[in-house]
Amino acid sequence: MKSNGKMAQLTATPRTEKKGAALRLLRQGGRVPAVVYGPGQEGSSIHVDEKEVLKVARTGRSEMFNLNVEGGKTIPVLIKDQQERNGRLLHVDFLQISKNKPISVSVSIDFQGTAAGSKAGGVFQTQETQLEVEGLPADLPTSIEVDVSGLDIGDRLTAADIKLNKGLTLVTSPESIIASVMPPQAVEEEPTASAEEAEPAAEEKAEEE
């Protein structure tokens, strides 16, 4: 990936390999199978350099950049979805966009400060780590800062409480709880699937694309 003005550039190579064994060979060579799709076009299978696409992925999925398809054209895209395991990318979905058309994306929430209720013995919990918003590509932030220092024990922060920058519209349900501060005795651990159970399923799904 290289920078060209304000727009980052990522080179992609068309691919015909869609079977599990062929995709594993690509990954072993440092390549990531991917698909690019958008309005009026079917998904095109490609592969990209893992190190280069990680540089884009780590900045957030709301940052637009140019995807230069070898033998084809340059396409403005966003990362719509990505599958990974143990820090390694398995598959990436790129979404072709228009600079003049609003799109809906999920943006990471950057929690700022320490909840007042935590200092008083409560337990701060996050129910959501992303917020879905709509706006022009140029107006989409890489993250949304949310100050939680005013939350006391028993308080809840909803999506409607988050102030968005001009040009952005909330897509997430306004009633959705983003974070809360619970009394210590009310906190119960919820069973979650282990990483060992979840990872094989993710890899199996990625190898089918």
Strands 7-14 and 2-4: antiparallel
Domains along the sequence of the chain with CATH: 2-97 (2.40.240.10), 103-185 (2.170.120.20)
Q: What is the mean pLDDT of each run of 10 residues along the chain (209 residues)?
A: 58 87 89 87 87 75 82 87 84 89 90 95 95 91 93 97 95 97 71 51 54
Do 166 and 133 form a contact (C-beta atoms < 8 A)? no
Residues 61, 62, 64, 69: is their CA dihedral positive or negative? Answer: positive
Q: What is the pLDDT of residue 42?
A: 74
Q: What is the pLDDT of residue 209?
A: 57
Q: What is the pLDDT of residue 2?
A: 39
H or E element, residue 199: helix 195-206
| DSSP one-letter string for 64-75 | -EEEEETTS-EE
Q: What is the pLDDT of residue 6?
A: 60
Q: What is the pLDDT of residue 130?
A: 93
CA distances for 1 relative to 14, 47, 52, angstroms: 17, 13, 5
Q: What is the pLDDT of residue 19?
A: 79
Q: Among 158, 159, 153, 111, which Cα is nearest to 133's? A: 159
